[in-house]
Structure 1
Amino acid sequence: MKKLIDTYKGHYRALFYLGLPIVIGQLGVIILGFADTLMVGHHSTAELAAASFTNNLFTLCIIFSTGFSYGLTPVVGELYGNRRFMEAGQALRSSLLANVLVALLLTLIMTIVYFNVERMGQPEELIPLIKPYFLILLASLVFVMLFNGFKQFTDGITNTQTAMWVLLGGNALNIIGNYALIYGKFGFPEWGLLGAGISTLFSRIVMVIVFALIVFRSRRFLKYKAGFFRLGWSKQMFRRLNALGWPVGLQMGMETASFSLSTIMVGWLGTIALASHQIMLTISQFTFMMFYGMGAAVAVRVSNFKGQNDKVNVRRSAYAGFHLIMAMAVVLLSIVFLFRSRVGGWFTDSLEVSAMVSSLFLPFLVYQFGDGLQISFANALRGIADVKPMMFIAFISYFVISLPVGYFCGFVLGWGTVGVWMAFPFGLTTAGIMLWLRFRYKTK
């Protein structure tokens, strides 16, 4: 064991210092999700259920778009590893264009979804709450994609602190805006769920403006700024970003779709089930986002070593990241398990919702290790730019296995919401094993 630790010690240290700012930034996102759910849940249980439905539809878009933007990380990571700084700046320019085009496509798709919300089997009393909130989140998609472009660029050049501070500042602004607009404080009207949407849109706009000012005005980015403005457009770079971005986006999108489609199934069970489902999804994002923060560091380190053609350290970086994520899983799950009986009461005053939340902790705890496994090796494969097989692995894991198991357990066996959640351990663990086997095969 000591020999193993000594072999990986440098990788643990490097991943920790690279990944910690990303994890802290993701923690800011998690705190924002907690604050949103807490504030909306205490304002109204119906608004909490409406937020659950709408947020899960948009989470699918945002995770897909984040996955697409991840195509920039291995490109910039390789260029940074080879000290080709101007080309890295050119890659940022191509990435922003590609991200905006994808955002417009997602906006069109979600507009079609908006006009079909009434046909999705949700409780009728939620429709007047869902539709205005939906439109505001729709307007913010392009700003999410622009932010992602800047974030993946700075992460790729190992400057993870910049995105961390922008995220934390934007999330603090959003929480203040939520408090003012949900409850009608500081002279603002009491808009409830609509106020939460307006606050989210405003904070996303501000984060993009601040990030752009930092990248284009700060001295430390001058060598990249020169490439952004002087090298012009590169069709080859644009094609490469799309070739990497679409498979990763689809892989992450299918994973998230299994959760989003599960939300629609839970909605068939009523408002109480949907509200409890939203609370547990908020808890699950706590672990997922922190795992993914460390996973992003794995992708950066792996891509740097790939640029140097150092295959030994490509493997060691990936396995060191997996060890760290498993250690995080043990710590985080221990904390969550201790508070399992109290969690529901933090978000709502409804005793029915709190009781249902407690019943969902068993499947939640079981699937965390499979989630950590698939995050580790999905990011390792992203770092070596082997992304196309990830689409097929995701399709099998989430659409062929996870969703049918959720429907069977939830409705055929009659286990309700707990049954729908029993699908997640099957899908995520299957994905993790297949991604690990693929990485082993590509780097043996």
Structure 2
Amino acid sequence: MKKYLSHYRALVMLGTPLIIGQIGVVLQNFADTLMIGHHTTVELAAASLVSNIFILGLLMAMGFALCMTPLIGKAYGQGDVASIGSTVKNGLAVNTLAALVLMAVYTVLYFFLDKLGQPDELLPYVRPYYLINLVSIPFVCWVNGLKQLFDATTDTKTPMWILLGGNALNIVGNWLLIYGHCGFPEMGITGAGLSTLAARVTMFVAIALCFAFSGRHRGERAAFRKSRVCRGEMRSLIVLGTPISLQMGMESGAWSLCSIIVGWIGTNALAGHQIMLTISQLFFQFYYALASAVSIRVSHFHGQHDYTAIRRTAWAGCHLNFMIAILVSVPVIIFREQMGFLFTSSPKVAAEVASAIVPLIIYQFSDGLQCTFSNAMRGLAYVKPVMLVAFLSYFVVSLPLAYLFGISLHGGLVGVWFSFPFGLTIAGVLYYYFYHRRLLSLEKTE
């Protein structure tokens, strides 16, 4: 284990701000779910539907930000500041294009919300919340793009503080606008949407100002000014980002489409599903943030052609994620009967949550495994297989099983959630296989 000690230490140092920042992202959704749930159960179900519709597109758009990390990280490892500046400028152009496409798609979808087979009582709450989320899309994409510059150059603390500040602003805004405190009108779910929009705009302004005036990034900023938006480089980023986008979209899509399946079961099941997604996303952010640190360090070592360090970094990240899986699982199992009441006062919804905790715990190790090695592949800029693995794991395996267990076999919400361990385990094993094969190929070539 001694050979991993330095990598454990480096990953913890680099990954801790990423974990805190990612938790801040989840806490924004957590706060919305918690505070909307204590307003009305119907609004909680409406928020669940909208959130799961938008998370699919936003995660797909994030793929075009995450593709910047291996390029910036590799250039950082080689000391190539000019390439960093060019990647950031063209990456922001690609992310702007992704935001425009996403907004166009969601605008069309807005006119078909009543055709999704959801309870009619949800639509008056869904529509305004949906439109507010639509407006916020470009700000999310721009923050994601600029964040890659800071993260890939090991400045992970700056985005952490920005994300935490945005989360705090969102919570205060929720308190004022959902419940109508301090003279503000009681707006319920619409107030939650406006608060989230304000937080996202503020985060973009903050991260843009940090890039514009930070002394640490003076060199990258000068290179950014000198570089130009180039069709060839944009095309390269799109080619690299598309598999990541499709991977994240299909992974998230399985959960989002499952939300529609759960909606066929009933409003209480859908509200419980939203609570379970919030808990699951909190766990996932630990794994994903640490795996992002793996991706960053792998990209640095890739630029230096140090393949032994790449292998040790990936396994060190896997060990740490397994440890996290144990730490998060124990308290949730112990307090599973009480978890639902953190979000709602409805005993029926809390019972749905308690029943779905068991499959959630079962797949934690698989989730840590697939996070680590998919991100190790991203650090190597080897991303074509990830979309095929995601399609097989989530659409061929998880989604049909969710319908089979939840609807055909009348398993309800817990049946739907028992489909996830199967897909995530297959994903983890296949990501490791492709990562290992790629690393062997690079070592032989070297």
TM range (shorter): over 0.9
What are structure 2's unaligned runs of at least 5 residues? Answer: 441-446
3-state secondary structure, aligned to 2:185: coil
Give identity over the alignment, percent: 48
Letter of the aligned partner of 1:409 in structure 2?
F
Rounded to whole Å, the distance in 2 between the matches of 1:23 and 1:39 is 23
SS at match of 2:216: helix
Distance 2:215 2:171 in 1: 31
In structure 2, what is the Cα distance between the partners aligned to 1:66 and 1:429?
Answer: 23
Q: 1:179 aligns with which of 175, 178, 182?
A: 175
Map 1:159-178 → 2, pairs under 5 A: 159-178=155-174
Tell me, yes or no, if the aligned pair for 2:64 and 2:91 is still in contact at 8 Å. Answer: no
CA distance in 1, matches of 2:123, 2:404: 28
Tell me the alpha carbon deviations over residues 132-190 of structure 1, each in whole angstroms, 9 at most, x when there is no partner.
10000011011000000011111111111111010000110011001100000121100
Q: 2:270: which partner in 1?
A: 274
Q: Does 1:153 align with 2:168?
A: no
Q: Which position in structure 2 is the counterpart of 1:303?
A: 299
Aligned residue for 2:202?
Answer: 206
Question: Post-superposition shift, 1:239?
Answer: 2.2
Q: Which residue of 1 aligns with 2:400?
A: 404
Equivalent position amino acid for 1:254 in 2: M
The reply on whether 1:395 has 2:391 as its aligned counterpart is yes
Which residue pairs with 1:216 in the alignment?
A: 212
Question: Does the aligned pair in 1 maintain the 2:81–2:223 contact within 8 Å?
Answer: yes
Judge conservation of contact 1:86–1:225 (CA < 8 Å) in 2: no
CA distance in 2, matches of 1:258, 1:169: 31
Deviation at 1:411, TM superposition (A): 1.3
- Greater mean alpha carbon deviation, residues 362-371 or residues 127-136: 362-371
| Partner Cα distance (1:253, 1:312) in 2 | 32
Q: Which amino acid aligns with 2:285?
A: M
Structure-1 residue corresponding to 2:422: 426
Structure 2 Cα separation of the partners of residues 18 and 149 of structure 1: 19
Q: Distance in 1 between matches of 2:344 and 2:267?
A: 13
- Secondary structure at 2:229 match in 1: coil
* Matched letter for residue 287 of structure 1: F
Corresponding position: 1:86 with 2:86:
no
Indicate the SS of the match to 1:20: helix
Question: Amino acid of the residue matched to residue 276 of structure 1?
Answer: G
| Equivalent of 1:324 in 320, 330, 352 | 320
1:53 partnered with 2:39: no
Rounded to whole Å, the distance in 1 between the matches of 2:67 and 2:106 is 23
> Of 325, 341, 345, which aligns to 2:341?
345
Structure 1: distance between partners of 2:52 and 2:34: 16
Mean Cα deviation higher: 48-57 or 22-31: 22-31
The 8 Å contact of residues 170 and 207 in structure 1, kept in 2 or not, is answered as yes
Q: What whole-Å deviation, never above 9, does each CA across 1:252-297 have from its counterpart, x for those lacking one?
A: 1100000000000000111111001111111101101111110110
Counterpart secondary structure, 1:394 = helix
Letter aligned with residue 315 of structure 2: Y
The residue number in structure 1 matching 2:93 is 97
- Distance in 2, matches of 1:353 and 1:49, equals 11
Deviation by residue 1:225-264 (Cα, 9 ceiling, x = unmatched): 1111112233333222112111101101100000000000
Give the aligned CA root-mean-square deviation in angstroms: 0.9
The unaligned stretches of length 5 or more in structure 1 are: none
2:5 maps to 9
SS at match of 2:337: coil
Q: Separation in 2 of the partners of 1:356 and 1:77?
A: 44
- Shift of residue 434 of structure 1? 0.4
The letter of the residue matching 2:147 is K
Partner in structure 2 of residue 439 of structure 1:
435
Match of 2:409 among 409, 413, 418: 413
Residue identity in the other structure for 1:293: A
The residue identity in structure 2 corresponding to 1:52 is S
- Give the stretch that moved more between structures: 238-247 or 97-106: 238-247
2:402 alignment partner AA: G
User: How far 1:304 moved relative to its partner?
Assistant: 0.3
What secondary structure does 2:217 align onto?
helix
> Which amino acid in 1 is paired with 2:29?
G
Match of 1:75 in 2: 71
Does the C-alpha gap of structure 1 residues 22 and 428 become closer, same or farther in structure 2, counting only changes over 3 Å? same
Spell out, residue by residue over 1:291-350, the C-alpha distance to the aligned partner (whole angstroms, 9 max, x if none): 111011010000000011111111111111111111111111112222211111111111
**1:140 aligned partner, one-letter code:** S
The residue type paired with residue 65 of structure 1 is A
Deviations along 1:43-63, one digit per CA (max 9) or x if unpaired, are 000000000000011111121
Counterpart residue type for residue 262 of structure 1: C
> 2:110, 2:362 → 1: CA distance?
34
- Cα distance in structure 1, aligned partners of 2:26 and 2:92: 25
User: Which residue is equivalent to 1:131?
Assistant: 127
Secondary structure of the residue that 2:63 maps to in structure 1?
helix
Contact 2:86/2:223 (<8 A) preserved: yes
Superposed, 1:360-371 pairs within 5 Å as: 360-371=356-367
Q: Helix, strand or coil: the match of 2:186? A: coil
Q: How many residues align?
A: 440
